[in-house]
Structure 1
Amino acid sequence: MKITGFRSLTTVHDWGRRTGDVNGVQSTDATVVPVLIIETDEGIEGVGLGAHPDVARVFAAVEGEDPRSVVALYDRMLAWVFKTGHSGAVFGTIGAIDMALWDIKAKAMGEPLWRALGGRERFVPGYASGLEYSLPDDELATLYGRFAERGFRGGKLKGGIDLDRDLPRLEIMRTALSRNSRHPAIMLDANESWNHAQAARYVCAVEQRLDLTWVEEPLRRWDAAGMAMLRGKVRAAIASGENLTGLEQYGPLLDANALDIVQVGTVWGITHFLRVATLAHSHDLPVSTVAYNGNPIAHAASAVPNFLTHEVQDLAFPVGLDIDQEFDDGGIVLGDRPGIGIVVDEERLASASAVPAAAASGPHVRPERAGLRMVAEPDVIEEPATAGGRRTP
Structure 2
Amino acid sequence: MKITGYRVVRTFLDWERPVGDANGFVASGVTDVAIVVLETDAGVEGLGMGSDHDLARLFPALDGQDPRAVTSLYDAMLATVFKSGHGGATFGGIGAFDTALWDLKAKLAGEPLWRLLGARDRYVPGYASGLDIALDDASLRAFYDRMAERGFTSGKLKGGRSLSADLRRLEIITDALRVNTDCPAVMLDANESWNLKQAVRYVSAIEDRMDLTWIEEPLRRWDADGHRRLSHHVRAAVATGENLTGLEQFRPLLDAGAVDVAQTGAVWGITHFMRVAMAAHSRDVPISPVGLTSNHAVAAAATAVPNHLIAEVQHVGSPFGVTLDQEFQDGGIVLGDEPGAGIVLDEDAITHERSSATWLIPEGPHVRPTRAGLRMITEPGPD
SS at structure 1 position matched to 2:35: strand
Q: How does 1:271-350 map to 2 (within 5 A)?
A: 271-293=271-293, 295-350=296-351
Partner deviation per Cα, 1:85-110 (whole Å, 9 max, x = no partner): 11111111111000000000000000
Which deviates more from structure 2 when the two are superposed, residues 336-345 or residues 356-365? 356-365
Opposite residue 141 of structure 1, the aligned amino acid is: R
SS of aligned partner of 1:307: coil
- 2:369 alignment partner in structure 1: 367
For the 8 Å contact 1:299–1:334, the answer to whether it is kept is yes
Are the aligned partners of 2:26 and 2:359 in contact in 1 as well (CA < 8 Å)?
Answer: no
* 1:170-200 Cα distance to aligned partner (Å, 9 max, x none): 0000001111111111000000000001100
User: Aligned-pair distance for 1:356?
Assistant: 5.6
Separation in 2 of the partners of 1:92 and 1:199?
29
From the superposition, tell whether residues 190 and 357 of structure 1 become closer, same or farther in structure 2 (CA, over 3 Å). Answer: closer
How much has 1:141 moved relative to structure 2? 0.4
User: Which amino acid letter does the alignment assign opposite residue 373 of structure 2?
Assistant: G
**For residues 361 and 78 of structure 2, what CA distance do their matches in structure 1 show?**
31
Cross-structure match for 1:262: 262
Three-state SS of the structure 1 residue aligned to 2:44 is coil
Distance in 2 between residues matched to 1:136 and 1:220, nearest whole Å? 27
In structure 2, what is the Cα distance between the partners aligned to 1:266 and 1:351? 28
* Paired letter, 2:304: A
CA contact (8 A) 2:14 2:30 kept: yes
The question of 1:101 aligning with 2:101 is answered yes
What is the one-letter code of the residue matched to 1:289?
Answer: P
Letter in structure 1 aligned against 2:290 = V
What letter matches 1:304 in structure 2?
Answer: V
Aligned residues of 2:30 and 2:358 also touching (Cα < 8 A)? no
Aligned to 1:228: 228
Q: Does 1:23 align with 2:41?
A: no
Structure 2 counterpart SS, 1:75: helix
SS of structure 2 residue aligned to 1:143 = helix
Distance 1:351 1:365 in 2: 32
CA distance in structure 2 between the partners assigned to 1:244 and 1:356 by the alignment: 22
Aligned residue identity for 2:247: L
Contact 2:163 2:379 in 1 (8 A): no
Measured at CA, do residues 94 and 328 of structure 1 come closer, stay the same or move farther in structure 2, by a change above 3 Å?
A: same
TM-score, with normalisation over the residues of structure 1? Answer: 0.95
The answer to whether the 8 Å contact 2:241/2:263 transfers is yes
Name the CA distance, whole Å, in 1 between partners of 2:359 and 2:167.
33
CA contact (8 A) 2:359 2:365 kept: no
Q: 2:184 matched to which residue of 1? A: 184
Q: 1:206 to 1:357 in 2, by over 3 A?
A: closer
CA contact (8 A) 1:27 1:358 kept: no
In 2: Cα distance, 1:313 partner to 1:9 partner: 22
Q: CA deviation at 1:357?
A: 7.0
Tell me how far apart the structure 1 counterparts of residues 130 and 351 of structure 2 sit (CA, whole Å): 27
Partner of 2:114: 114
TM normalised by structure 2 equals 0.98
Distance 1:231 1:376, change over 3 A: closer
Is residue 214–residue 237 contact of structure 2 (8 Å, CA) maintained in 1? yes
1:194 alignment partner in structure 2:
194
Per the alignment, residue 45 of structure 1 pairs with 45
Bigger shift: residues 44-53 or 103-112: 44-53
Q: CA deviation at 1:358?
A: 3.0
Question: C-alpha deviations, 1:157-181, integer Å up to 9, x for none?
Answer: 0001101111110000000111111
Cα offset, 1:359, TM superposition? 2.3
Alignment check: 8 A CA contact 1:39 1:45 kept: yes
Q: Tell me the SS of whatever aligns to 1:139.
A: helix
**Native 8 Å contact 1:5 1:38 kept in 2:** yes
**Amino acid paired to 2:63:** E
Aligned residues of 2:113 and 2:341 also touching (Cα < 8 A): yes
How far apart are 1:292 and its partner, in Å?
3.2
Contact 2:32 2:359 in 1 (8 A): no
Equivalent residue letter for 1:80? T
Q: Which amino acid aligns with 1:279?
A: A
Contact 1:224 1:253 in 2 (8 A): yes
Q: Give how far 1:361 is off.
A: 2.1
The aligned residue for residue 383 of structure 1 is none
Aligned position for 1:385: none
Q: CA deviation at 1:360?
A: 1.2
Gaps of 5+ in 2: none
> CA offsets, 1:183-219, max 9 Å, x none?
1110000000000011000000001111000000010
- CA deviations over 1:330-371 (Å, ceiling 9, x no partner): 000000001000101111222331126732121210001100
Give the distance between the partners of 2:30 and 2:352, measured in 1 at CA.
15
Distance change >3 Å, CA 241–CA 67, structure 1 → 2: same
Identical-pair percentage:
59
How many residues are matched?
Answer: 381
Distance 2:224 2:359 in 1: 34
The amino acid of 1:165's aligned partner reads: A
Asked if residue 79 in structure 1 is aligned to residue 79 in structure 2, the reply is yes
Q: What do residues 309-334 of structure 1 show as CA deviations (whole Å, max 9, x unaligned)?
A: 01000111110111100000000000
Structure 1's consecutive aligned runs of 4 or more residues displaced over 4 angstroms after TM superposition are none
CA-atom RMSD, angstroms? 1.1
Question: Given the alignment of the two structures, is residue 354 of structure 1 paired with residue 356 of structure 2, yes or no?
Answer: yes
Distance 2:308 2:193 in 1: 27
Query: 2:357 aligns to what SS in structure 1?
Result: coil
